[in-house]
Structure 1
Amino acid sequence: MKTSVQPNGVNSKESVTVVGTVRRKSLWKTTIGLDLMILPALILTIIFSYIPMAGLAIAFKNYKPGLGFSKSKWVGLEHFQYLFSIPENVQIIWNTLIIAGLKMVAGLIVPFIFALLLNEVRKMRFKKAVQTIVYMPHFLSWVILGGILSDLLARDGGLVNQVLVSLFGIKPIFFLGDGNWFRFVVVISDVWKEFGFNTIVFLASLAGINPALYEAAEVDGAGRWQQTRSITIPSLLPITIVVGTLALGNVLNAGFDQIFNLYNALVYDKGDIIDTFVYRLGIIDGKFSFSTAVGLFKSVVSFVLIVSAYRISYKLANYRIF
């Protein structure tokens, strides 16, 4: 292979190398400000997310606070074997999957439909007002909402039960004391809190649809419903697939904050999830090693699901972050 020589006596390989070096230096000067902005977040992430991961080793030890980390006895996979032998384990995993699955499905369907309806509103002031109102609950913590829901859904004196008794003659329902009703409350309240935030994703996707498609459809005599069915919904399918597949990574996160602020001992059989189970074992009962083993098991499964979800979203919707 011959190397071409330029008029100034520099061959092509050397010139490419010089150009590449200049470009890298220029890129570094351009992005150094952005890199410095990311640095504090990176440091905090390392301190609070990566360094504490060393504590996962107690999942393989019989950790005793009095003995300390180094002197506690290694027990290998004993805690993981015990995890799969206790009868509560299966029920807790099922509770987590059922609650998280219902949240995922409802949290995908409701904002999808609401975005389609809101997109048809032509008065911009009204549209923005509605979008702001439904978006606001996202900023309320579950500590506040838990107290509000406990008062509204109380069996004795709660506003919801008062309406059911006075208007429909229905006996008071123990919403937060019956397992089946508790799951219903958890799913509905989570959808109410978050669907306004999730709607933004679909509205952004709707804004990216080419208006020429609707103009061509009108010329062909298509009505609003036909345009929605033939243009809008198919255009939303890629982002819907992305949101749905990425949600698979959180299928074991049924919402600790929400359930912790709403549940009680009466609904442990239907409302206890992995996170609340770990909290009771580790913080209340002091079984640090076993609770760490449960949390590590959940994290490993979640990691596998997240990786799988990214691959699925890339295959189905050609979506990828890195």
Structure 2
Amino acid sequence: MQWTNFRKNYASNWQLYVLLLPSAVFIAIFAYVPMAGIQIAFKTYDFSKGIWGSPWIGFENFQRFFDSYQFSRILINTITLSFYSLIVSFTLPIAFALMLNSFVSPRFKKLVQTITYMPHFISTVVIVGMLIQIFNPRTGALGALYMFMTDKMLPDAFANPDAFKHLYVWSGIWQGIGWGSIIYIAALSSVDLELHEASEIDGASRLQRVIHIDYPSILPTATIMLILAVGNIMDVGFEKVFLMQNSLNIGSSEVISTYVYKVGLTIGSGDFSFATAIGLFNSVINFALLVAVNFTVSKLGKNSLW
């Protein structure tokens, strides 16, 4: 019965399936075919023998990672940075969208939107370069201002391990809050204006209308976005973390993604099996969190992915 329905659907919409085909082929080649290489995590990879011919060692690479003196530090750094970033980057775009939607002047609203969207298109390398220039205690703008006001040198933020996570997260908020609010602004645009007019007649203040009309209208969208964000919670951005790292803040900046790069691709290491095992461990944690959060949301009666 299902096959019959599919054939009927395909016969009437074959053009859509043809348009879908390039994307499906791309995903299959670059997302599913490489999954065969996951077996490297359970082997001692040998170039001369290849992936299939390398000797099988089971979970030894995973045990090696768990027994490593770096395991607890890397895991704590990754979880701390991930949850810190998730909490801030998930809540602030919602608040910003609600605030922006409450502006009366359309021209002012468009101006604010344009200004806040622009940093999203700046590359990660440029963002980190800007941070270094701003916070440099000798030549940076903030360092010069601090020296002028206090006659003292500004402490080097990049040399302070405790400051790393704040620099990483809040610079990301500056760069992405406008872009992250787009989907919520789009959801708010579908709110029936008659609801606001009726509540105004009943004497509701602007804040009350935001709480009781605007916020519930974007809650389903926010729920889906939260589930997707939790599914990638352990994937702390490699490029930015790696560019901000130095020997002084390495204690709080070394995360799973940068450690995998150093173990697997740095000259002198090249331990592909060990790096793959760490990466697979990270992916399993992400998958487990995604399933758990989606299950919890579905049991609460909210919107879920499946």
Fold agreement, TM-score > 0.5: yes
Q: What residue number does 2:196 align with? A: 214
1:52 and 1:70 mapped to 2: Cα distance? 13
2:288 and 2:123 mapped to 1: Cα distance? 29
How does 1:219-298 map onto structure 2 within 5 Å?
219-284=201-266, 285-298=269-282
- Using a 3 Å threshold, how does the CA distance of structure 1 residues 165 and 273 change in structure 2: closer, same or farther? same
Scaled by the length of structure 1, the TM-score of the pair is 0.86
Match of 1:85 among 67, 70, 75: 67
Q: What residue number does 2:17 align with? A: 35
- Using a 3 Å threshold, how does the CA distance of structure 1 residues 68 and 132 change in structure 2: closer, same or farther? same
Identity of aligned residues (%): 34
- Using a 3 Å threshold, how does the CA distance of structure 1 residues 232 and 167 change in structure 2: closer, same or farther? farther
Superposed CA offset, 1:48-102 (max 9, x none): 1111111111111111334433443221111111111112111111111111111
1:170 deviates by 5.6
Superposed CA offset, 1:95-142 (max 9, x none): 111111111111122112211221121221221121122112222221
2:116 and 2:102 mapped to 1: Cα distance? 17
Q: What residue number does 2:285 align with? A: 301
Contact between 1:146 and 1:261, CA under 8 Å: does it hold in 2? yes
Superposed CA offset, 1:175-231 (max 9, x none): 222111111100001111111111112212222222222222111112212222333
Residue-pair matches, total: 304
1:168 and 1:117 mapped to 2: Cα distance? 36
Letter in 1 for 2:271: K
1:186 and 1:172 mapped to 2: Cα distance? 19
- Using a 3 Å threshold, how does the CA distance of structure 1 residues 240 and 34 change in structure 2: closer, same or farther? same
- Using a 3 Å threshold, how does the CA distance of structure 1 residues 43 and 237 change in structure 2: closer, same or farther? closer
Match of 1:311 among 285, 290, 295: 295
- Using a 3 Å threshold, how does the CA distance of structure 1 residues 245 and 170 change in structure 2: closer, same or farther? farther
Contact between 1:239 and 1:317, CA under 8 Å: does it hold in 2? no
Deviates more, 1:81-90 or 1:237-246: 237-246
Q: Which has the larger radius of gyration?
A: 1
1:243 and 1:59 mapped to 2: Cα distance? 31
How does 1:67-78 map onto structure 2 within 5 Å?
67-78=49-60
Letter in 2 for 1:144: V
Residue segments in structure 1 that go unaligned for 5+ positions in a row: 1-19
Q: Secondary structure at the match of 1:176?
A: helix
Q: Secondary structure at the match of 2:180?
A: helix
Q: Secondary structure at the match of 1:99?
A: helix
2:153 and 2:213 mapped to 1: Cα distance? 47
1:318 deviates by 3.2
1:321 deviates by 4.3
Letter in 1 for 2:144: Q
Contact between 1:63 and 1:72, CA under 8 Å: does it hold in 2? yes
Q: What residue number does 2:149 align with? A: 167
Scaled by the length of structure 2, the TM-score of the pair is 0.91
Letter in 1 for 2:105: K
Q: Secondary structure at the match of 1:231?
A: helix
Letter in 2 for 1:158: G
Residue segments in structure 2 that go unaligned for 5+ positions in a row: none
Letter in 1 for 2:196: Y
Root mean square deviation, CA, Å: 2.3
Contact between 1:146 and 1:258, CA under 8 Å: does it hold in 2? yes
Give yes or no for the alignment of 1:153 onto 2:153.
no
Give yes or no for the alignment of 1:94 onto 2:76.
yes
Contact between 2:224 and 2:304, CA under 8 Å: does it hold in 1? no
Letter in 1 for 2:272: F
